[in-house]
């Protein structure tokens, strides 16, 4: 009983601090969920950020760029098969179709952090600014954690998923 109360209190605190509820952001119709990055080894030059995008608005949008103070630059990347080998490729933008979920996740689309200023440490958080063609800019907080966030119950229907 006591742990249930504590969990409830933790949720109440998180809801008070964060823009929507636990680690989600809403920018016009664009719903951004659980930005996270894996910790990087001490000499790593690059890192990657993953998150989920869901366009609730009245049209489709595109993620066109990203930036963060923790890296010299951020690029939008995808993974593609090339001669039987998975390779990362920069993409100009990431399309988010109206009503669908676009997941940036390991082995797929991601925001690549190039030339990290220091390693990403587990438990840390850092800001990442995302720029959308229609919705504009938003700065989200990225959690550095070894494992993907648990698929949450987001309280609404996500419909079709694209990756
Ligand atoms: Cu990459």
| 37 Cα to the center of ligand 1, angstroms | 12
Q: Write out the H or E segment, with its range, that includes residue 3.
A: helix 2-17
Q: Give pLDDT, residue 150.
A: 79
| 80 Cα to the center of ligand 1, angstroms | 11
CA distance 49 to 37: 5
For 92-149, write each residue's pLDDT tens digit: 999 999 999 999 999 999 999 999 999 999 999 999 999 999 999 999 999 999 999 8
| 79 Cα to the center of ligand 1, angstroms | 8
| 151 Cα to the center of ligand 1, angstroms | 23
Dmax (CA) of the chain: 56
For 77-98, write each residue's pLDDT tens digit: 999 999 999 999 999 999 999 9
For 49-81, write each residue's pLDDT tens digit: 999 999 988 899 999 999 999 999 999 999 999
| 28 Cα to the center of ligand 1, angstroms | 28
β partners of residue 157: none
| 77 Cα to the center of ligand 1, angstroms | 5
CA distance 131 to 126: 17
Q: Which residue has the tokens 């109360």?
A: 5
Give which of 24, 64, 60 is closest to 152, Cα–Cα: 24
| 72 Cα to the center of ligand 1, angstroms | 14
Give which of 42, 49, 48 is closest to 118, Cα–Cα: 42
| 17 Cα to the center of ligand 1, angstroms | 31
- Paired sense of beta strands 136-144 and 30-37, if any: parallel
Here the tokens at position 151 are: 């698929």
CA distance 97 to 60: 5
Q: Give pLDDT, residue 127.
A: 97
The structural architecture, per CATH, of the domain 24-148 is Sandwich (2.60)
Give φ, ψ of 143 to 5 degrees: -90, 130
């Amino acid at each position: 009983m006591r742990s249930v109360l504590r969990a409830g209190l933790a949720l109440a605190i998180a809801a008070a601090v964060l823009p929507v509820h636990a680690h989600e952001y809403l920018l016009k119709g664009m719903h951004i969920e659980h930005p996270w990055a894996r910790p990087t080894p001490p000499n790593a030059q690059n890192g990657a950020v993953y998150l989920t995008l869901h366009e609730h608005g009245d049209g489709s949008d595109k993620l066109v760029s990203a930036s963060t103070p923790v890296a010299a630059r951020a690029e939008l990347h995808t993974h593609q098969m090339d001669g039987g080998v998975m390779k990362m490729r920069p993409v100009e933008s990431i399309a988010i179709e109206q009503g669908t979920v676009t997941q940036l996740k390991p082995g797929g689309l991601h925001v690549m952090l190039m030339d990290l200023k220091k390693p990403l440490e587990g438990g840390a958080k850092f800001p990442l600014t995302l720029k959308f063609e229609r919705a504009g800019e938003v700065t989200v907080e990225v959690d550095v954690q070894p494992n993907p966030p648990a698929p949450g119950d987001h309280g609404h229907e996500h419909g079709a998923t694209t990756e």
